[in-house]
Chain A
Amino acid sequence: MTTAGWVELAILIAALAVTTPLLGAYMAKVYDPTLGRPRGDRVFSAIERPIYRICRIDPESEQRWSTYALSLLAFSLVSVLILYAQLRLQGHLLLNPDRYKGIEPKLSFNTAVSFLTNTNWQAYGDGVMSQLSQMTGLAFHNFVSAAAGAAVAVAFIRGLIRRTAGTLGNFWVDLIRTCVRILLPLAFVAAIVLMSQGVIDNFHGARPVTTVAGQTQTIPGGPLASQEAIKEGGQNGGGFFGTNSAHPFENPNGVSNLVEIWLMLAIPFAFTYTFGKMARNQKQGWVVFATMFALWLGMLLVIAPLEARGSPLLTIGGADQRTTSLQAGGNMEGKETRFGPVGCGYFAASTTSTSDGAVNCQHDSLTPIGGGTALVNMMYGEISPGGTGSGLFGMLIFALLAVFIAGLMVGRTPEFLGKKIQGPEMKLVVLYLLLPAILILGFAGAAMLVHSALNSRLNTGPHGLSEIVYAYTEAFNNNGSAFGGLTANTAWYDTTLGIVMLAGRFLPMIAVLAIGGSLGRKKVVPATAGTFPTATPLFGGLLFGVVIIVVGLTYFPVVALGPAVEHLAGHFGL
């Protein structure tokens, strides 16, 4: 790691420290008008009012948790069918300068589900998606899938803080307000900043040129900057191009790289402040923030130095991986010169700890423990800081587990924010935590027994196991990054990954809304001397420990067989 690398990290942390309270406070006002009038209210209201009128939504009306969930599912069903139809029919639609054909059924299914669920796993590569499919199909879900996650998180917060209330807010209002007041302005500013650095935004088809050495090359075009901004800002991560943010048009230099990393982290971290503000308990928000931050930074400080140190196996072949004033050095396979191993490490750690899943280097070619760290980051369940909204509710589910464990230790009914956590809630919490283990390990295990699934691996041995486990882990956690060597556009993977993405998105969300509904109906019990205080560093430490232990116990065997074995067998050193 170079001094420049450390300074870059310091700038990133400083930016997050500034934007978390600013953005978080603004978001809290968007979701809770009793906190005050949010900035730009007049302009945004003027945009929202006609939408409410056309859609016949009463913005003052509220929904019970079950209706809220039903609205979420109805919206998802309608919008995914539209996307599927659009992908199948793109050959007959507008804005298709390169004349791409309609996309075959299994890839259309996988891609539609992948963008609906905020996963943005790319089973497709370059030369598949028309500009219309990108701009009005994929980018649409970049916005609304992020907004749906935020809506569920806000409904859950309301359940935590309301007293004997039957309702959790209105899904349609939360969805629309998130899009109009948070995502749209952020994406607009970010798109312009990214364009200034060289991210393209045009409607050209691919243009042939004769290169300097007299060969032919076709330079692609497309409305990229607007999509790139929301791809990172909404933790979506599905690239315009096959190689995502490693592609120079998506991420042209060090400045755009830092902006994109910040964009991935900004809203999820800000949500902790929003939570504190809405709960009228800012310290509680900071405790959640600190736990997420510690997980994120800790994992980042594993990946980046490992990649910078490089691979002894490349040294044997003759590569000089030392970091000097003339080269970044390190394990450069799958990495771009302009980012180097450190820029890749920061991006990889952030994209897997949020639910983003964009990549600026090929994760399949990371060092064994570097790639394993990215994998474990997702296994945490996207909570450090996770996706838009989904990161916060994921961490709060762990918080409920933590108070439950603390309650067991002292023999008291656990409480969180004055709400008693009882049997019905804990059953749902356990369901939430068991689902990923069952689906990820179950499907990865099944893939080991299916010949065609094994044939999709590019790399064999322990790394081949990592490729398959990585695929199901990213799918369940709606991340979308990949060990790209796996040929995923097959009947087996398109279908099973599609199922896992759907289950990994909606089952936890329904559980979270049910818990929120159940907590919302409860009274608040006053804190006594016997109450376990949760807005303290001690609780942050307990929460951190619970996450590590639960995830460690669930996945240790498979991580040991994949990345750890590869590391030890390859003499990667300590």
Chain B
Amino acid sequence: MLRRQLVTGLLVTACLLVLLCGVFPLAVWGVGQLAFNHQANGSLVKVHGKTVGSSLIGQSFTDNAGNALPQFFQPRPSAAGKGYDAGASAGSNLGPSNPNLIGNNLDDPQNNPYRTPSDPYCVPVGADGGYQKNPDGTYACNPNTVPERSIAYRQLNGLAAGSPVPVDAVTASGSGLDPDISVANALDQAGRVAQARHLPPAQVVDLIHRRIDHRAWGVLGEDTVNVVDLNIALDRLGDA
């Protein structure tokens, strides 16, 4: 009885494998290669004939030391590898009240023993008893907390201390590969990018508005700006 069932199970597995894992995926692959070749192969983008990435996969725009390049729009923080590692997609998975996300002593920053003049919510780097310090004697703060990211964002873009920062600019995405930023985030970066490229700010702002990916059918998803496409368009402005 059991033996007959097992044999039937084996035969059914074999038949369904051929149909569901052979015929079906090959048929889908065939349709994709014929009808949606660009999408099925990764929505790759080319510049001067060379593939520079995929418009769906975000990229880092930093120098070798990891500093943001001011002439490029900056994507969101990324938890994928060292940042935008497309072979290691990942979110931070930090919980909503984890100090490594939100900072230390939010209720009572005066009593945060690690506070620095710029960051009252500083979370020190290193292990208990051996926290790293800066040359000026202050604690070195975990750069990936929202307070630290806000400070860095304001500094990079010449915003006033304490001014609110678009939330997408200081939080890591779910995939670590988010190619998009919000329109607000792009506009806040426009002045700095224009300055670094010696372009009139109005021209950069105008470019952003032309590159907004609006919600599909006016309602699905959110309005976004694709950083990879936007930076390529910026480079093209310079070429022209």
Q: Write the residues of chain A forming the contact surface with B, with a CB cutoff of 8 angstroms.
A: 4-5, 7-8, 11, 47, 50-51, 54-57, 70-71, 74-75, 77-79, 82, 125-127, 135-136, 139-140, 143-144, 172, 175-176, 179-180, 184, 187-188, 191-192, 195-204, 206-207, 209-213, 215, 217-221, 223, 225-227, 229, 241-243, 246-249, 252-255, 257-258, 310-311, 313-321, 324-340, 342-344, 359-362, 364-368, 371, 458-459, 461, 463, 466-467, 483-485, 566, 569-572
Known: A195-B28, A200-B39, A254-B216. A172 touches B164 (CB 8 A): no
- Assuming the contacts A54-B15, A333-B92, asked whether A327 and B166 have C-beta atoms less than 8 A apart, the reply is yes
Q: Would you call B19 an interface residue if the criterion is a C-beta within 8 Å of the partner chain's C-beta atoms?
A: yes
The answer to whether A51 and B12 have CB atoms under 8 Å apart is yes
Q: Which of B80-88, B127-135, B189-197, B199-207 contacts A (4 or more CB under 8 A)?
A: B80-88
B6 interface residue (CB < 8 Å to A): yes
* In contact, B102 and A326 (Cβ under 8 angstroms): no
Q: Is B157 an interface residue (CB 8 A)?
A: no
B97 touches A249 (CB 8 A): no
Contacting A212 at CB < 8 Å: which of B89, B150, B232? B232
Count: A-B pairs, CB below 8 Å: 425
Q: Are B57 and A197 in contact (CB under 8 A)?
A: no
* Cβ–Cβ < 8 Å partners of B154 in chain A: 318
A213, A321, A463, A566: most-surrounded residue (chain B CB, <10 A): A213
Inter-chain contact A337/B180, CB cutoff 8 Å:
yes
Whether A257 contacts B220 by the Cβ 8 Å rule is yes
- Asked if B235 contacts A463 (CB within 8 A), the reply is no
Contact between A201 and B28, CB atoms less than 8 A apart: yes
Q: Which of B179-232 contact A (CB under 8 A)?
A: 179-185, 187, 213, 215-224, 228, 231-232
**Cβ B25 vs Cβ A135 within 8 A:** yes
Would A78 and B175 be within 8 Å (CB), given that A196-B39, A340-B222 are in contact?
Answer: no
**B1-33: contact bitstring with A at CB < 8 Å (1 yes, 0 no)?**
110011011111111110111101101110111
A320 touching B146, Cβ below 8 Å: no
Give the interface size bracket for B toward A. 35 or more
Q: Are A327's CB and B182's CB within 8 A?
A: yes
Chain B residues near A344 (CB-CB < 8 A): 174
Residue of B nearest to A464 (CB): B95
Which B positions have Cβ atoms within 8 angstroms of A?
A: 1-2, 5-6, 8-17, 19-22, 24-25, 27-29, 31-33, 35-36, 39-44, 47, 50-54, 56-62, 69, 72, 76, 84-98, 101-103, 106-107, 121, 145-147, 149-151, 154, 162-168, 170-185, 187, 213, 215-224, 228, 231-232, 235
**Structural contact, A366 and B53, CB atoms closer than 8 A:** no
Q: Could you tell me the distance in whole angstroms from the C-beta of A341 to the nearest C-beta in chain B?
A: 9
A320-B57 in contact (CB<8A)? no
Residues of A within 8 A of B231 (CB): 212-213
User: Is the beta-carbon distance between A213 and B28 smaller than 8 angstroms?
Assistant: no
Contact present for B24 and A188 (CB under 8 Å): yes
Min distance, Cβ B25 to any Cβ of chain A, angstroms: 4
Sample (8) of A-B pairs whose CB atoms are under 8 Å apart: A55-B8, A179-B16, A195-B39, A212-B228, A212-B231, A333-B172, A338-B178, A338-B222
Determine the residue in chain B with the shortest Cβ distance to A463: B95
Query: When the two chains form the complex, which single residue of B13, B86, B213 contacts A220, counting CB atoms closer than 8 Å?
Result: B86
Q: Is the CB of A248 within 8 A of B179?
A: yes
| Cβ-defined contact, A334 with B92, below 8 A | yes
The smallest beta-carbon distance between B156 and chain A, in angstroms, is: 14
Q: How far is the CA of A47 from the CA of B215 in the complex (A)?
A: 41
Extra 15 A-B pairs, beta carbons < 8 Å, given A226-B29, A317-B170: A75-B5, A192-B36, A195-B28, A200-B39, A201-B33, A209-B53, A212-B235, A213-B59, A226-B24, A243-B89, A243-B174, A258-B220, A333-B94, A342-B222, A365-B101
Q: Shortest CB–CB separation between residue B46 and chain A, in angstroms?
A: 10
Q: How far is the CB of B62 from chain A (nearest CB, A)?
A: 7
Selected from A71, A225, A368, the residue in CB contact (under 8 A) with B9 is A71
Whether the Cβ atoms of A459 and B12 lie closer than 8 Å is no
A354 CA to B28 CA, complexed, in Å: 26
